[in-house]
Amino acid sequence: MRGKFITFEGADGGGKSTQVQLAADYLRQRGYEVVVSREPGGTPLAEKVRALVLDPELPLSNISQTLLYLAARSEHADKLLRPAVAAGKIVLCDRFSDSTLVYQGLALGKGAEEVNELRLLNAFAAGGLTPDLTLLLDGAPKLLARRRERRGVSDRYERQGLDYQHKLRQGFLALAQAEPERIKIINAEGDLQAVAGAVQRALDALLDGAE
């Protein structure tokens, strides 16, 4: 039986990494075999790419960033994601192709033609792998910024300021509006357990419907 590929998206500060781990624990309690990964990353090569693209001291053009992300995605999908789904496992991934569409496209004001080019490149890099469900952890940029400050987060995206964070949020919400069946918006402003409960309900709706 084919497994499920579930991605977690949204701007930093929404609690994606924590919610991925809580979701994995919940699904394992339900008896599922779960694989947890992240982008960029998930394989030794892709983790090296991650260090490059997130280094705030390393100047990279948007095209260079995009191609590096896509190279990491190709490796990740080929070596880990597609085999795990084919083996019947539930794969939870912190970010995937929607992040590329937003960070390298919509948040930079790219037009429909350029965003569609990104979609084609994403499909090529992922070998046709698409999420069965995407959970968008959404919250007010000021609130998420305060959370990042408490964690001491500083990368090339963090340094672009609050206006850029608003553009990121708008980009993710635009994708959710365009694909409401796949992308479910989770209010990330609540406490940890409230957000986890919303995530679990979305997972149940997908998995119970597939059984």
Q: How far apart are CA 150 and CA 65, in angstroms?
A: 27
**23-64: pLDDT as tens digits:** 999 999 999 999 999 999 999 999 999 999 888 888 889 999
Nearest to 96 by CA among 136, 64, 60, 58: 136
Task: Give the list of residues 6+ apart from residue 88 with CB closer than 8 angstroms, or none.
Answer: 1, 2, 3, 33
Residue 106: DSSP 8-state: G
Q: How far apart are CA 41 and CA 50, in angstroms?
A: 6
Q: How far apart are CA 12 and CA 52, in angstroms?
A: 18
Paired residues of 132 in beta bridges: none
- Tell me the three state secondary structure of residue 89: coil
Amino acid 9 reads E
**142-162: pLDDT as tens digits:** 888 787 677 665 555 556 668
User: Domains in the chain, start-ordered, CATH in brackets?
Assistant: 4-210 (3.40.50.300)
- Tell me the three state secondary structure of residue 173: helix
Is residue 96 within 8 Å of 125, Cβ to Cβ?
no
Burial of 71 (0-12, 13-18, 19+ CB in 10 A): middle
**90-99: pLDDT as tens digits:** 999 999 999 9
pTM of the model as a whole: 0.93
Using CA atoms, how far residue 185 sits from 9, 60, 75, 130, 164, in Å, is 10, 31, 28, 18, 20
Whether the pLDDT of residue 12 is over 90: the answer is: no
